[in-house]
Structure 1
Amino acid sequence: MTSTTPRLIVADLVWTGTGDALEPGVVEISDGRISAVSPLRGARPAGPDVADLGASLLMPGLVNTHAHTPMSLMRGVAQGHSLLCMEGYLEVLRTREAHLTPDLVPASVAVSCADFIRHGVTAFADQYFYADDIAPTVMRSGLRAAIGWGIVELGDDDARARELAEATRFAESMAGVSRVVRGWVGPHAYFVDNQVEAMRAERDLARRLGVGLHVHFSTSGEEDALCQEAYGRPALEVMAEMGMLDVPTILAHCNTVPVDQLPLLAGTRAAMAVIPSVAMQSGVPAAPVRAALDAGVTVTLGSDNVCNNTNVDLFEEMRMLGKLAAFTSRSPNNVSPREILGIATVNGHRALDGGADDGLIAVGAVADLIAVPLAEIPRGPVGAQSLEAALVYGVSGASVSHSMVDGRWLMTDRVVRTLDVEAALIQQQADYDTLVARTAGAPADGRWL
C-alpha cells in the first residue's frame, strides 16, 4: 500500500450501508469524498494510487457521539460508582478534576484517539474542559470531531461568565481551522448544573456560530424533577419552548427520558446518544431506543468516559444495544442489526451535522471508511446469518485493520500512522502520577468544584 490518500480502494466485500453488498467492490475517492462505487468487473486495478485490501470487508466508519477524551487519564477509577448522578459525579470525578491542569490533557487525548482509530471509530463528539488542549491532538490524529468546551456553572454568576467566555473564544478560534474538526459548545447538564440563563446564552452562541450543543441529559431523571417543580412540566417541554432543540444538539444517555415526550425530539436537530454499557454498569434504566426510533428520533451511539466504561469499542456497544433492547423489552430482535448499524454510522454523522449521505458508502459521502478481514467476521455457513447480524453480534473493534478519514489512512495493517501511541502511553502514566500526587497532597484550586 503505497499511498496515504488512495484514489481507489478495492475489497472482496463492500458493505455500503444502503442495503447493498458488493462482492468484490471498488470505491473511488476524490478530495476526501466518495466519487464512485461499483462492483468490480474484470481485472483488479493496480498502481501506486490503488489500495487493494484483498479478503476484507470495507464499510463506513463508526461514529462515537459521546466521549471525553482527556478522561482516559482516569480510566477505571469509577468502578463501583455511578457517574450518572450528582453524588457519584462529585465524589469520584470532581475531586480529581479539581487538580487537573492543561498540561495533563494532550497525552490522554492521544491515547483516546488511538483507541478510537484502532476500534473503527472515524468520527466523534467530545465534551470536556481545556478544549484548547484537546483540539491540536485531535487534529494531528486525523479523526473527524466536534469538540465541545465543557461548561459547568452551578448557578455561580462568575463561573457562568467565565465558562461562556472561554467556550465562545474556543468555538470562534476553531472556525475554518480544519475541515474535519469543529468547535462546539458543551453544557454539562441542563437545569442541573447549567441554569436557564446559561442555557439561553449557549443557545444563542450556537446559533450565531453555526455550531452544535453537546449535553448530558436524562441520566437519572434530575432534569424532569427540577422542571416539574419549577415549571410544572417535563424538561423536554421546557427545552422545546426555549428553542434549545433548534440547533444541532447531542443529548447524551437519555436513560430516563419519558417515552411520551419523545415526539418532541422528532423532526428537530437533536439526537439521543445512548451508551448501553454505562447504563448497565451504573444500574440505571436502558434508554428507550425502540420507542425513540418509532417516534422518528435520531438515535446514535457513544462510549462515554472510560472511568467506568473502560473501553471505546463501538462494535461492543452495538452488540450491547441489541441485547439490552431485547432483554428489557422481552422481544427478540427489538432493534434489528441493520438499524443498529445505521445508529452507529449514518445517524452519528447526522448528529454531528454532517451531510445526508455521510456514514454510507455512496457518491458524495465523506470518505470515512474502515476495513475488517473477512476471516474475522463469523458469518457461519453461507446463508445462515445476515452480514449485518454478523457485524453487530460477532465482530470486535480489535478486528479492524484499516481506518480512513477524509480519504486519508489513519491506520493500515493495524498500525496507527498518525500518532506516536507508545510515547503517549508513557506520558500518560507520568501525568497520572502527577495527578495522584496533587490529589493526595495539594489543596484544590476550586475551579471545577
Structure 2
Amino acid sequence: MSVLIKNGHVIYGESFEVVKADVLIEGNRIVKVAKEINEPADTVIDAKGKVVSPGFINLHTHSPMGLFRGLADDLPLMDWLQNHIWPREAKLTREYTKAGAYLGALEMIKTGTTTFLDMYFFMDAVAEVVAESGLRGYLSYGMIDLGDPEKTEKEIKEALRTMEFIEKLNSERVHFVFGPHAPYTCSIALLKEVRKLANEHGKLITIHVSETMAEIGQITERYGKSPVVLLDEVGFLGNDVIIAHGVWLDSRDIQILARNGVTVAHNPASNMKLASGVMPLQRLLNAGVNVGLGTDGAASNNNLDMLDEMKLAALLHKVHNLDPTVADAKTVFRMATLNGAKALRLKAGVIKEGYLADIVIVDFNRPHLRPINNVISHLVYSASGNDVETTIVDGKILMLDREVLTLDEEKILDEAEKTIEKLA
C-alpha cells in the first residue's frame, strides 16, 4: 500500500522546517519527502493549500470517559472524583466501556491524534477498539489497591491478564503499559511490584503524580515527603516512566525527574478546569525534562482535541509567568508530537524519511488560517481539530476528506447516547 501526498506545506524533520513538498509513503513508513515526486502510488492526495503535519500524540487520557462529558462540571477534583465520577464508573461494564472507547477513538481520528496513552478499566475492550480503529494505542489498566494486600494481588493479576490479552492481538499499533493510578491510591508494595514487572517484561509505566495540593498534603502526611521523592526512594522512577500532571513540583522534585529521565505529560485544560494549578513548565524544560502534552479524559477537559490543548498550553504559561516568550508555538508543537514519541520510544512525531507514517493533513483553505504567514503558529493559536481533513496512521488512511473510513460514525454516536441512559 502506497500513498503520495502532493503540493502541501510539509512540516519537515526535527526542526519543523516548513517546506513545499510531496510526501511518499510505502507500507507504514515515510520513504521520500521532495518536490515533485512522480512515482506511482495506490492513493494520491492533493494537499494544495493544506499543511502536512506529524500526527499528534496524546500522552495522557482516559478515552472511554467521553461518556461522562458534561456530567459533573465546575467541581474540585476530589468532589468530582469521589461523588460523581467514581460512583458512575462503578456501574461500568465491559460493553459500556467499549462504547466509550469507540467514541474516544472516533473523536481522536477526527481531530488529528494518531497515538494516545490511555489509562482506564476493561482495557481489553479498549484494545479491541484501537485495533479496529487503526489508531496507535498505549494502554494501561488503572491499578488501585488503597493499601489492601488482597486488592494488590487482584490488581496485579488484572494488569497481567490485560497484558496477555493485548500481546495476543499481535498488533504493532496496540501496546500494553503498566498503570498504577497514583501514589495516594497505591501501596508501596504495589508500586514496587509494578517496577519489578515493568523491568521483567520491558514495558513502560504511567502514573498520576503531584496533580493537586491535596495530594501533596496527603502524601506528606502519610510518608513525610513529596510524591516524587517517595517514588524515587522506593526505586520506582526511570526513563520508562511517564508521569501525568506534575503540577506541584518543587526544585528537588524537578531535579529527581531530570536525573531519572522521567517524562511529564502536561494536561493544561484539565488542570485549569479542576483548578489543580499550573505546572512549572519552563523550569522542567530548563532542567532538561522531556515534557509531552495530553488532554486527560473528556470528563475534565471536555474534549480530546490536541490542537485545542496546544493553544491552552501556550497561553496558560504566558499569562502565568507574565512573559509572552514562554511556551512559544514551536516548543508546544514539539510537546504534542516529537516529545510524546520520545516518551513512548516510537519512531514518529516527525515527517522524515524512515519514520512511521503517522501524518495528518490540515486544511488551511479557511479564513481563520489565512494568510499562511507562519504554519506552526497557526496550528497552535488558530486551528482546531475540526480543521483536520485527513488522518493517516501506520501508512493507512483512517480519515479522508473528514470521512472516517475505519469506524461507523453514526452507530458510535447512537451507541454513546444509549449507553449513558443506561448509566444514569
- Shorter-chain-normalised TM-score: which range? over 0.9
Q: 1:147: Cα distance to partner?
A: 0.4
Structure 1 stretch displaced more, 234-243 or 72-81? 234-243
Deviation at 1:215, TM superposition (A): 1.2
Residue identity opposite 1:367 in structure 2: A
Q: Deviations over 1:114-159 (max 9, x none)?
A: 1001001000001001111111011101101100011111112222
Question: 1:223, CA displacement in angstroms?
Answer: 4.7
Aligned residue number for residue 346 of structure 1? 338
Any gaps of 5 or more consecutive residues in structure 2?
Answer: none
The CA deviation at 1:367 is 0.7
1:371 corresponding residue in structure 2: 361
Is 1:73 the equivalent of 2:61? Answer: no
User: Letter of the aligned partner of 2:187 in structure 1?
Assistant: Q
**Separation of aligned partners in 1, 2:192 and 2:146:** 15
Instruction: Check 1:279–1:20 CA distance in 2 against 1; reply closer, same or farther (3 A cut).
Output: closer
Shifted more, 192-201 versus 277-286: the winner is 277-286
Q: Which amino acid aligns with 2:22?
A: V
Aligned partner (choices 350, 374, 377) of residue 389 of structure 1: 377
Q: Per-residue CA shift, 1:356-396, capped at 9, x if unaligned?
A: xx2011122111000012213845556xx432211110111
Q: Which runs of 5+ in 1 are unaligned?
A: 437-449
Structure 1 counterpart of 2:5:
9
**Distance (Å, rounded) in 2 between the aligned partners of 1:318 and 1:20:** 16
How far the C-alpha of 1:336 sits from its partner, in A, is 1.1
Give the Å deviation of 1:260.
3.8
CA deviation after TM superposition for structure 1 residue 81, in Å: 1.2
Mapped to 2, the partners of 1:90 and 1:11 lie a distance apart of 52
Secondary structure in 1 matching 2:175? strand
Checking the alignment, whether the CA contact within 8 Å between 1:267 and 1:296 is kept in structure 2 is no
Query: Does residue 178 of structure 2 align to residue 185 of structure 1?
Result: yes
Is residue 30 of structure 2 the alignment partner of residue 34 of structure 1?
Answer: yes
Q: Does 1:57 align with 2:51?
A: yes
Structure 1 contact 77–308 (Cα < 8 Å) conserved: no
Distance in 2 (alpha carbons) for counterparts of 1:82 and 1:251: 21
Deviation, structure 1 residue 291: 1.0
- What aligned pairs does 1:13-412 form with structure 2 within 5 A after superposition? 13-19=9-15, 21=17, 23-38=19-34, 40-41=35-36, 48-83=42-77, 85=78, 87-175=79-167, 177-190=170-183, 192-246=184-238, 248-355=240-347, 358-376=348-366, 378=368, 380=370, 385-412=373-400
Task: Give the C-alpha shift of residue 423 in structure 1.
Answer: 0.6
Q: 1:429 to 1:406 in 2, by over 3 A?
A: same
Determine if contact 2:232/2:256 at 8 Å carries over to the other structure. Answer: yes
Amino acid at match of 1:233: K
Secondary structure of the residue that 2:327 maps to in structure 1? coil
TM-score (norm 1): 0.89
Q: Is the CA contact (8 Å cut-off) linking 2:391 and 2:398 kept in structure 1? A: yes
Residue 46 (structure 1) shift: 5.7
Paired residues in the alignment total 423
- Distance, in Å, in 2 between the alignment partners of 1:89 and 1:231 is 23
Per the normalisation by structure 2, the TM-score is 0.94
CA distance in 1, matches of 2:367, 2:242: 31
Measured in 2, the distance between the counterparts of 1:174 and 1:126 equals: 13
Amino acid at match of 2:147: G
Paired with 2:368 and 2:15, the residues of 1 have a C-alpha distance of 19
The residue matched to 1:372 in structure 2 has which SS?
Answer: strand
Tell me if structure 1 keeps the 8 A contact 2:243–2:264.
yes
SS of residue matched to 1:185: strand
Change (3 A) 1:411 1:101: same
Cα pair 1:303 1:309 within 8 Å, conserved: yes
When residues 286 and 207 of structure 1 are mapped into structure 2, their CA distance, relative to the original with a 3 A threshold, is same
Q: Distance in 2 between matches of 1:20 and 1:344?
A: 12
Distance between the aligned counterparts of 1:29 and 1:381, measured in 2? 29
SS of structure 2 residue aligned to 1:208: helix
* Partner deviation per Cα, 1:279-320 (whole Å, 9 max, x = no partner): 111122111111111111111111111113111111111001
Find the counterpart in structure 2 of residue 445 from structure 1. none
Letter in 2 for 1:51: I
